[in-house]
Copies of this chain bind each other. A is one copy, B any other.
Amino acid sequence: LPTEAQRDALEVVLVTPRNPLNIGAAARAMANFGFRRLAVVAPFAPTWREARSAVGAEELLQNAKSTANLAEAVCDATLVIGTGTLTYRRPEQPVVLLPLLAPLIRQELERGGRVALVFGPENHGLTREDLSYCQILVEIPTEAHQPSMNLGQAVAVCLYELALRPQARSIGEKPAAEAYSLPYTEIGAATAASGHLERVAGLIEETMRAAGYSPESMQAANRHDLRLTLRRLSLREQDTRRILGLFRRILWRLKHTPIRDDKSD
């Protein structure tokens, strides 16, 4: 059972939910399983108003934060996990079944990490852009012909699995990481927060522009790949500091060195 402090290091993030009832349902499940940090990304104003003014609205909903975009919501998370149906997509990150991922998330929380569990809107789930902020995707094992879960129910099932008392699982259980080799196993306590990685991505992009890359090569698709790559590397915070230092230096040089004519050499 994660401690209270550990549970407070897990944030449930709802991206643009459309139905206020679903925000309430997510909050209810969080209260049931002892989680308190809720963020809602770019909610429709009436939806957000209605959800927060619901009769019996929890303290949790009153304390929920609303952010302009997903990057801001997951800014300080060391592990960002995307949820949703993957039937019609080829995922770009490792996909792990919920019962196997839960012990790893608990481990991350025990190590002092900060976890964001991200849920997409009811109609289409997380976009490819949203998913690019995620290190790993979680799959709730559902039926092929009806894979898509109701938002509030998906939140409940995930938090149930995360909050499970260890004694509720059998003794002699191998840690999932041992039984199934996952890329994620490598992520240590000092994994860089999502915000750090975004700073690295931004600086690399600026550097590339300064280095004369054409604007086309810095379009959305490349930005997307860069973001994914940085997350796949499982960078530690000190790695990002080194990378930032390096690129700042390169960038400074690029901006202060006059462009030399090749012929002058």
Contacts and interface: CB of A to CB of B under 8 A. Distances in A.
A149 interface: yes
Contact of A99 (B29, B168, B176): B168
Nearest to A152: B153
A212 B132 CA distance: 77
Contacts of A32: 142-143, 146-149, 153
Contact of A169 (B99, B149, B150, B154): B99
Given A34-B143, A164-B99, A170 B171 contact: no
A26 to B, nearest CB: 10
A157 interface: yes
Interface in A149-187: 149-150, 152-154, 156-157, 160-161, 163-165, 168-176, 179
Interface of A: 21, 25, 28-29, 31-34, 97-100, 140-143, 146-150, 152-154, 156-157, 160-161, 163-165, 168-176, 179
15 contacts: A25-B150, A32-B142, A32-B148, A99-B164, A99-B169, A141-B163, A141-B165, A152-B153, A153-B156, A157-B157, A170-B174, A170-B176, A170-B179, A172-B172, A172-B173
